[in-house]
């Protein structure tokens, strides 16, 4: 579990990051109607999906994978190898960033509201394919980051 200051600090950093990105694109769209074939609502959905993938990754893996090299250098990884749990599971899921739960909830609600108010209908097959792609993309990002670390 995290301290309250770390929890609130993580949320604050996320809000600032999301705000800067949305401000950047709102400035761009104040001068143009579309960027190529992407309208303002397309880019907002894209940004929300990008933030959602990042938040899933931060929640599940980032607190552990970022520290993997440090654990190897200090010798803490040896304790994972001695436990009766698969060592990669232990090294990957030991800690979670609990503030990301709030971000996942807010971003998911915002994405659902954007999908419901989207100008053209989005079918159930597309939503199902999106969820599968989101899961597979997060696993792929984890695999690459685990190999690098």
Given pLDDT bands bounded at 50, 70 and 90, which one contains residue 80? confident
Check pLDDT > 70 for residue 83: yes
**DSSP state for residue 31 in the 8-state scheme:** T
The tens digit of pLDDT for each residue in 4-53 reads: 888 888 889 888 999 999 899 889 988 988 888 888 898 999 999 999 98
How far, in Å, CA of 111 to CA of 54, rounded?
Answer: 14
Given pLDDT bands bounded at 50, 70 and 90, which one contains residue 107? very high
Domain span including residue 126: 4-148
Number of domains in the chain: 1
pTM: 0.81
How far, in Å, CA of 68 to CA of 71, rounded?
Answer: 5
Q: How far is CA 50 from CA 68, 72, 129, 138, 141, in A?
A: 25, 31, 16, 11, 13
């Amino acid at each position: 579990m995290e301290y309250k200051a770390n929890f609130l600090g993580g949320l604050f950093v996320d809000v600032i990051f999301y705000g800067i990105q949305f401000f950047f694109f709102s400035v761009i769209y104040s001068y143009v109607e579309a960027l190529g074939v992407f309208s303002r609502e397309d880019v907002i959905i894209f940004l929300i999906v990008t933030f959602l993938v990042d938040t899933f990754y931060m929640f599940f893996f980032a607190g552990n994978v970022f520290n993997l090299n440090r654990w190897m250098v200090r010798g803490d990884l040896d304790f994972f190898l001695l436990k009766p749990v698969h060592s990669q599971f232990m090294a990957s899921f030991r800690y979670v960033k609990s503030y990301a739960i709030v971000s996942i909830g807010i971003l998911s609600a915002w994405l659902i509201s954007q999908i419901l108010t989207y100008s053209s209908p989005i079918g159930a097959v597309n939503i199902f394919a999106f969820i599968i792609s989101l899961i597979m993309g997060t696993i792929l990002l984890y695999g690459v980051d685990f190999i690098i670390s």
